[in-house]
Amino acid sequence: MSQPKAPHVASLDNYYCLGRSGLRVSPLCLGTMTFGTEWGWGSVESTARSIFNRYLDCGGNFIDTADGYTDGRSEELVGQFIQERGNRDQIVLATKYTFGVREGDPNAGGNHRKNMHRALDLSLKRMKTDYVDLYWMHTWDGVTPVEEVMRTFDEVVRAGKVRYIGFSDVPAWYLARAQTLAEQLGWERVAGLQLEYSLIERNIEREHVPAAVELGMGICPWSPLAGGLLTGKHQRHQFGEGRMRSVSEASHEVFGRYLNDHNWKIIERLAYWAQQLGKQPAQLALNWITQRPGVTSTIIGATKMAQLDANLQSLDFKMPEEAWKDLEALSRPSADFPYFFFLGKTRASVYNNVPVRPEAPWYRGELTFSSAQAD
């Protein structure tokens, strides 16, 4: 049976440079952790193929996977789908390494040189390609020296196996040290930063967002719908279909921390505004995050075509200011130490109560020329 025609998505093919690099990516990136059924809740091959093709047909160009997603099946399917379309050079293909893949082998996981080369070679083999456009370090392992990581990243770029590099799930101090080393030693700089970010998880705004903007890293939020909690299908005492049903216990290491009274208030307020505006809660949540400072491309996933179509249309409207301010205020992270020193009367006393701005308001504006000046 033929698939319905792809919906018009006005903004998906408005591309942005990833951080301080020249790599152009779509504002929504297709995450493929749901490709494959090995984990019990993903998509079968035919559905994954349809989702993959629909995203590209709508103008998207950014595909994200990882060596461990569905035990390697995600990479295999992504590589297969790219081969079927025959457009490898038009796709920005990203994958990751770090998590262990062989029980009992201490070197088959981690950030170190041996594991990076091992993981990268296997990823290239699974995806049937000789290079990846963006290679992420999936998470900080806590032991490998940052110098070793950055030098090895530089090696794989110079070898032609990787075009750009990025970090995922690392401390802010770590990414600052890594980028400074790269700048000083002439190594490949970090172009992207993949972090959890959503209306109910905004902690990166304290350190990571300012660091990314200052150091030239484009932020790619993962779990912008908080594991599905911001889709509108889950209620305070009743979980709908999806993986949240299996992680609805507060003791769950990753998603259990979402389940508190404050976050349910955000979820319920999001549902209110969605109803007022005739949108889906997920569309509002994605619209909000794609416009946050430092964000280049937001990672979305889907197990059904209807989910993908709805999420892609999150770019095609402007949220009213009243709704924006309401959600912003309700979800704003607290100003804990030392951040309260940078606010209000304390900050004003630093400037002797005289208004001071870091730069003139037009400083970062684009220069415009009339046709006569341009000639």
9 inside domain: no
CATH of the domain at 333: 3.20.20.100
**pLDDT of the residue at 370:** 45
Identify which has the larger pLDDT, 245 or 205.
Answer: 205
Q: What is the mean pLDDT of residues 140-168?
A: 99
Which segment of 69-78, 214-223, 242-251, 300-309 scores lowest on mean pLDDT? Answer: 242-251
351 inside domain: no
Q: What is the mean pLDDT of residues 204-231?
A: 96
Axis crossing angle, helix 172-185 with helix 146-158, rounded to the nearest 10 = 50
Identify which has the larger pLDDT, 227 or 134.
Answer: 134
Which segment of 20-29, 61-70, 266-275, 332-341 scores lowest on mean pLDDT? Answer: 332-341
Confidence of residue 237 (pLDDT cuts 50, 70, 90): low
Q: What is the mean pLDDT of residues 90-118?
A: 97
114 inside domain: yes
Q: Which residues are catalytic?
A: 69
**pLDDT of the residue at 374:** 43
CB 296, CB 218: distance < 8 Å: yes
Identify which has the larger pLDDT, 334 or 53.
Answer: 53
Kindly tell me if the per-residue pLDDT of 248 is higher than 60.
Answer: no
> The domain containing residue 134 runs over which residues?
16-337
190 inside domain: yes
Kindly tell me if the per-residue pLDDT of 25 is higher than 70.
Answer: yes
User: What are the distances in angstroms from CA 259 to CA 27, 180, 265?
Assistant: 29, 38, 11
Give, rounded to a whole angstrom, the gap between the first and last alpha carbons of the chain.
55
**pLDDT of the residue at 207:** 96
Confidence of residue 278 (pLDDT cuts 50, 70, 90): very high
Confidence of residue 162 (pLDDT cuts 50, 70, 90): very high
Among candidates 99, 162, 152, 100, which has minimal Cα distance to 127?
162
- The per-residue pLDDT for range 317-370, each reduced to its tens digit, is 999 999 999 999 999 998 888 988 888 888 889 989 898 887 766 665 555 444
Identify which has the larger pLDDT, 151 or 13.
Answer: 151
362 inside domain: no
Q: What is the mean pLDDT of residues 67-71?
A: 96
- Residue % of the chain over a pLDDT of 70: 87
Counts for the chain of helices (H) and strands (E), in that order: 12, 10
260 inside domain: yes
Beta partners for residue 29, in sequence order:
299
Confidence of residue 3 (pLDDT cuts 50, 70, 90): low
Kindly tell me if the per-residue pLDDT of 219 is higher than 70.
Answer: yes
Domain count of the fold of the chain? 1
5 inside domain: no
Question: Where in the chain does DSSP place strands (E)?
Answer: 16-17, 24-25, 28-31, 62-64, 92-97, 132-137, 162-168, 190-196, 218-222, 298-300
The rounded mean pLDDT for the chain is: 90
364 inside domain: no
Among candidates 359, 209, 353, 364, which has minimal Cα distance to 289?
209
- The per-residue pLDDT for range 116-150, each reduced to its tens digit, is 999 999 999 999 999 999 999 999 999 999 999 99
pTM, rounded to two decimals:
0.90
Q: What is the mean pLDDT of residues 161-179?
A: 98
